[in-house]
Amino acid sequence: MTAGNANEWGDDSPKNRFTDPDTGEAYFLIIDKETGKTKIYNEEFGADKYIGEFDPETNKINYNNNWWGGARKEEKAFFNNESRKKMIKDQAINVITRESIKEDGKSSVEATNIARKTMGEAVVPESTGGTSVDPITSSDTGTKSGALVYPETLRYESQDTIKLTALEYRASGFDRGKINSAGERASTKTAKRLGSVVLPIPAGIKSSNSVNWDAGSMTAVQSVLANAIVTSGEQASVGAGVNDLMSSVQAAAGSSNVKRALISALATQGSGADAGAILSRTTGSIMNPNMELLFKGPNLRDFDFGFQFAPRNRKEAERVLQIIRFFKQKMSPQRSAERLFLKTPNTFEIQYQHNGGVHKGLNEFKECALMNCAVEYTPNGDYSTFDDGVMTGYMMQLTFKELDPVYNDNYGKGLPASLGL
């Protein structure tokens, strides 16, 4: 086993490893507590191989170029881009944070700020409640970060989990002085956190990105008139466009079909009938609609999760009731003191987690609203309770919808080794 000395963080335990998805090679880090310089190792059978050292100050890697046992070409290729260097920093921050909590007894915020400062990153203000990934150390009742955890044997550092954090809703508002005055929603990192639930990742998870396209049509007459209006907002130009239309009509006036089309168009003005219906009824033809598929706008994504609870003792039963109540209460609107207004319900930050960090193999989420919380009290088909009346099984279905659409620029540039949104 490779591990750091008293002045270093990290070791080669499974929770500290990360993998090259193309080659399957597993790597781990050893971080200097004073300088933040990070040794990169390839986890290999027998003896782990030293790849090189990452300097967070210069953002460069000094590779091991020894002829025997040095960094291979494919290993250098894996780390030789900015997204992978950021991945090293993020992984180092996760390692330092976990060890500072477990070994030194630091709080979540203290441990996070120690890690970020060591790696040359800005510290997190106390008011944010820590990082977007709160390190959790499971105990018999829950976590140091105050999250509700089920089952009680769930171990954050060795099991993949889903974390759902309630946030105080913040309106996007308006940006004055801009052409598009619709405000940009602030990051969830600055939102006030109101409690979290950590559960095993359920089966059947999926994401679906969609946009709305629809057929659009425009006849020749409509296109000329539209072009005249679009090219200029001046009345003279509109008149010029109409003159162009008349010139085009006169040039085609020798065609009997054009004459019929014009007569049909005029007939609609007096009768209110559909021009296409009149033309079709009288000639057996219609004007070419020039149909085209046109973009109409983005759709908001929604997500469904189903959680099966089967408490094994009184403590777990109490925890299940707390979790169900948590979601029901946070999704409910709040009445003002005089009951004249209703405040927007709390929103949620959702995160798949792997070994205490963001799960790079699953999708990320934008801030979400909880649209529906449905609880089935007899999921096994029969009514069964413990002595104190708590049901022996519960099935909770949650439906979330993101507050904002997903845009191209949300993914950033390049193709980092993660799915993103």
* Predicted confidence (pLDDT) per residue in 105-140, tens digit: 887 778 888 998 999 887 755 444 333 344 433 333
Single pTM value for the model: 0.58
Pick the closest to residue 92 from 200, 11, 181, 196 (CA basis). 11
Instruction: Pick the more confident residue, 373 or 387.
Output: 373
User: Which secondary structure element, helix H or strand E, spans residue 295, and what is its range?
Assistant: strand 292-298
pLDDT of residue 68: 84
Map residue 72 onto helix, strand or coil. coil
Residue that has been written with the tokens 């000639």 in this structure: 283
DSSP for residue 48: P
Pick the closest to residue 377 from 389, 391, 365 (CA basis). 391
Amino acid code (one letter) for 363 = N
* Predicted confidence (pLDDT) per residue in 326-381, tens digit: 999 999 998 888 888 899 999 999 999 887 778 888 999 999 999 999 999 988 88
* Predicted confidence (pLDDT) per residue in 176-227, tens digit: 666 665 656 777 777 888 889 999 999 999 999 999 999 988 877 677 667 7
Q: Count Cβ atoms below 10 Å from residue 138 Cβ, excluding itself.
A: 20
pLDDT of residue 12: 87
Mean pLDDT of the chain: 80
Residue 400: both structure tokens together: 């979330």
- What one-character-per-residue DSSP string does 217-245 give? ---HHHHHHHHHHHH-SSHHHHHHHHHHH
Residue 96: both structure tokens together: 């330092």
pLDDT of residue 67: 84
Kindly give, in sequence order, each residue whose CB lies less than 8 Å from that of residue 161, ignoring residues fewer than 6 positions away: 154, 198, 199, 200, 201, 352, 353
pLDDT of residue 240: 59
| Distance (Å, whole) CA 27 – CA 42 | 5
| Distance (Å, whole) CA 57 – CA 49 | 24
Kindly give, in sequence order, each residue whose CB lies less than 8 Å from that of residue 222, ignoring residues fewer than 6 positions away: none
Contact (Cβ atoms closer than 8 angstroms) between residue 49 and residue 69: yes
Question: Nearest-5° angle of CA 357, CA 57, CA 93?
Answer: 15
Pick the closest to residue 351 from 316, 396, 400 (CA basis). 400
